[in-house]
Amino acid sequence: GQLCLHAAMTGLRLAAPLLVLREGHSAVAVGGLLALFAAAPIALALPAGRMADRHGYHRPVRWAVALVFAGALLAALSTLLSAAARYALLCGAALLSGGGANLGLIAIQRSAGRLVSDPTGLKRVFSWLGLAPAFSNVVGPVIAGLVIDAAGFGAAFAVLALLPLATVVWARRVARETPPPTERVRGSRASWALMTAPPMRRLLLVNWLLSSSWDVHSFVVPVLGHERGLSASAIGLILGSFAMSVAGVRLVIPWLAHRLREGPVLAGAMLLTATVFGVYPLVHGAPAMGACAVVLGLALGTVQPMIMSTLHQITPEARHGEAIALRSMTINLSSALMPLGFGVAGATLGAA
């Protein structure tokens, strides 16, 4: 269910900027469009988490499907209109699909954590679930690219609209949950209290540092590769080896979950990430940079299952959705703002 929902959004995230570029819009317009895919998750995360806590899995996922489906239809409709109206509708599609995909992700992650109760089971289930975004980042753009080349942008948006409907089919096979009666303490003060509780604050800080490291890699590798005269395909292979390494380690974790503890794994991931970042500027060839990318993928690929397992253990059961939403907000805010800081640092001090 998550793969289908997320693939529709990632396909739109590829196709919409391509259409905007074809219309002759500037890189600034493309950047603004891409930013809208992350803006809605930041704004809607907490309401999405509270909805998941109140209603369980099915109602939030139905809303998520409706939002992503509407975004894809809006994008398809834009191909029939003038260039000015087209850009406005594509911006609306970005907001709807970005917000819908994140709403579904929060509900799915919350429900996945409730399938098991022990720490080993949590690590296993979140390792399996972590494969969905990795695969959807391939499935969505590949579908979009193939249909664009074969039948145009309108057809691509229409095909992408079918993917969230497949989520509905899979969602029907998920058992319905009867949320236990709980005392409702909600609002900005309650969320702030949850976020500033020492265990949650420390976990969010670690999560921010490691998700920023992911953003560092995505930002710096193309810059370093360009400085060193690597081809676009070589840079793509380096980033691809990182993604494959992330997926590989998440395939392995379920078999080793009973031997892994969250704290030591996260500490090891931070130390290994720091070591790789220290080595990266010293290597120059594509094979050596690819080897660094593989090691970094092994380190950062372990983070999400450990973070999610810890989060479910340190937060009250009735507020798992809200806690996941707080994590989602920090990640999306970091992904929106940190590349600007990396750009300033890279321009001032150099990528290395």
User: Three-state SS string across 6-41, please?
Assistant: HHHHHHHHHHHHHHHHHCCCCHHHHHHHHHHHHHHH
Tokens found for residue 242: 């990182």
- pLDDT at position 185: 46
Which of 41, 18, 39 minimizes the C-alpha distance to 30? 18
Give residue 305's identity as a one-letter amino acid code: P
Tokens found for residue 207: 């999560």
Q: Three-state SS for 205? A: helix
- pLDDT at position 199: 85
Could you read off the pLDDT tens digit of each residue along the chain, which spans 352 residues?
A: 999 999 999 899 888 888 888 888 776 788 788 888 888 888 888 888 888 888 888 999 999 999 999 999 999 999 998 877 899 999 999 999 999 999 999 999 888 888 887 888 888 888 888 888 878 877 888 888 889 888 899 999 999 999 999 999 999 888 887 655 554 545 556 666 777 778 888 988 998 999 888 888 877 787 788 778 888 678 878 887 888 888 889 889 888 888 888 889 999 999 999 999 999 888 888 899 999 999 999 999 999 889 888 888 888 877 888 888 888 888 878 777 776 677 777 777 777 7
Which of 246, 339, 252, 345 minimizes the C-alpha distance to 297? 246
- pLDDT at position 179: 59
Q: How far is CA 260 from CA 172, 254, 263, in A?
A: 33, 10, 9
Tell me how many degrees the CA angle 300-307-167 measures, rounded to the nearest 5: 90
pTM beyond 0.95: the answer is no
186 DSSP assignment: -
